[in-house]
Copies of this chain bind each other. A is one copy, B any other.
Amino acid sequence: MSILDKKIGIIGGGQLGKMMILEAKRMDPYIITLDPTEDCPSSSISNEIIVGGLKDKNKILELASKLNYETDVITYEIEHIDTETLECLEDVDYKIFPSVKSLKVIQNKYTQKQTLKEKSLLVPDFELVELIEDLEEIGKKFGYPMMLKAAKGGYDGRGNYLIKNEDDIDSAFHALDGENQLLMVEKFVDFAMEISVIATKGQDGEKVFYPVAENIHVDSQLDTTIVPARIDETVKEQAISLANDVMEVFDGVGTFCTEMFVGKDGQVYINEVAPRPHNSGHYTIDGCMSNQFENHVRAICGYPLGNTDLIKPIVMVNLLGIGETGPAELIGHEEALATIPGLKVHVYGKKESKGKRKMGHFTVTANTVEQALTLAEEARKIIRIQNQNYHLKLVK
């Protein structure tokens, strides 16, 4: 069947969905997006939008009902979706990529880590937390600080709580609703650097890997990605090798991200796996010959994958909402575009700015990573996305 008749159903219409569609549209399949927000980032570039929750079984079935199970395909841009309904669809031969089996294992951080550990992949030590009393025991074994995590549903540091010492145990357990939620705790890795590798696997098993990205988090949220990462060859090889193992373990078709810690001992540990394109791979849009979204679309459509070569050193900086919730406004982009060579500004189109909400990002390409970093720091001082009434409030 021609791509012109092919339909792609995407669960989630945020920035990742939007960027997927912008790549898919180069070959023009028909796109149906499911998202709870009618004017979500994907809405104006989807052929159809179904407004509904990502765990709403009826809405997921409505999406499937518009697709041909033999020729069309379902994917997702977020892992916190209803896997039961998707499993049923898989049972009746709908094509869902990455597979629901891998999604189920990955969306629960405990089973994700268990699976990696069983396959002898290096992860920080971790334990399941069933009772608050377990934490004291584990604390004695792991030492402090240690990281308490909700097994499901967290992102951007939400669902994580750093336990600095025994006195924090009580507040940590209750903050993450330990009575009602499955929690796990991880030994704290005193890392020298955080890195990630974006990889894509095709339906025929072909795998491609993007250059290792160096990530800087601020308040547990990704702030800056630097490519190539400033690491030596040994670390680079470990990172790519681990990302390769991850793609094998989860047998995932599509684009995946493996986030890793480089320990001060030079060891590389897997931190988390995402079964989808990832914020730390946004640099690939302006920085690589074929980006993470293009390769995701190629993979789920069953096509061969594109070249992941880096065009130039590049730095990506997230634009997070500043200040109170309110109508979003982009500021400083004209000045920044005029003064900073190699700058590209990406705006996701979320109508409402909220403190820390991912509203957009920018990238700067240059001849060296150092140049790109210097220019990115200049751009950071100029470009903002904020509540459009924010400056007025400051004046009062």
Q: Can you list, as one digit per residue, whether each of A258-285 has a CB less than 8 Å from chain B (1) or not (0)?
A: 0000000000000000000000000000
Interfacial residues of chain A within 338-352, with CB under 8 A of chain B in the complex = 338, 341-342, 344-349, 351
Q: Does A388 contact B (CB under 8 A)?
A: yes
Question: A303 to B2, alpha carbons, bound, how many Å?
Answer: 39
Residues of the B chain whose Cβ atoms lie less than 8 Å from the Cβ of A18: 25
Question: A44 to B46, alpha carbons, bound, how many Å?
Answer: 6
Q: Does A192 contact B (CB under 8 A)?
A: no
List the B residue with the shortest CB-CB distance to A45: B45
List the B residue with the shortest CB-CB distance to A365: B289
Q: Are B45 and A388 in contact (CB under 8 A)?
A: no
List the B residue with the shortest CB-CB distance to A286: B289
Residues of the B chain whose Cβ atoms lie less than 8 Å from the Cβ of A31: 44
Question: A328 to B4, alpha carbons, bound, how many Å?
Answer: 8
Q: Are A4 and B329 in contact (CB under 8 A)?
A: yes
Q: Are A27 and B298 in contact (CB under 8 A)?
A: no
Q: Are A330 and B45 in contact (CB under 8 A)?
A: no
Question: A338 to B28, alpha carbons, bound, how many Å?
Answer: 19
Q: Does A88 contact B (CB under 8 A)?
A: no
Q: Does A337 contact B (CB under 8 A)?
A: yes
Q: Are B22 and A334 in contact (CB under 8 A)?
A: no
Q: Does A333 contact B (CB under 8 A)?
A: yes
Q: Does A26 contact B (CB under 8 A)?
A: yes
Q: Does A181 contact B (CB under 8 A)?
A: no
Question: A298 to B306, alpha carbons, bound, how many Å?
Answer: 28
Q: Are B347 and A3 in contact (CB under 8 A)?
A: yes
| In the complex with contacts A26-B347, A302-B334, A345-B27, A2-B388 CB distance below 8 A | yes
Residues of the B chain whose Cβ atoms lie less than 8 Å from the Cβ of A330: 2-4, 27
Q: Does A307 contact B (CB under 8 A)?
A: yes
Q: Nearest-CB distance from A28 to chain B (Å)?
A: 4
| In the complex with contacts A2-B330, A2-B331, A304-B334, A344-B26 CB distance below 8 A | yes
Q: Are A28 and B347 in contact (CB under 8 A)?
A: yes
16 contacts between A and B (CB under 8 A): A2-B328, A2-B330, A2-B388, A4-B328, A4-B329, A4-B349, A4-B351, A25-B44, A26-B347, A27-B333, A28-B348, A44-B47, A302-B334, A303-B333, A303-B334, A304-B338
**Which residues does A use to contact B, with CB under 8 Å?**
2-4, 18, 22, 25-28, 30-31, 41, 44-47, 289-290, 298, 302-304, 306-307, 311, 328-331, 333-334, 337-338, 341-342, 344-349, 351, 365, 388
Knowing that A4-B347, A289-B342 are A-B contacts, what are 10 other residue pairs whose CB atoms are under 8 Å apart, sorted by A's residue number?
A2-B329, A4-B329, A4-B349, A22-B22, A25-B349, A26-B346, A26-B347, A27-B345, A27-B346, A44-B47
Closest 4 CB pairs of A and B: A28-B349, A304-B338, A2-B329, A304-B337
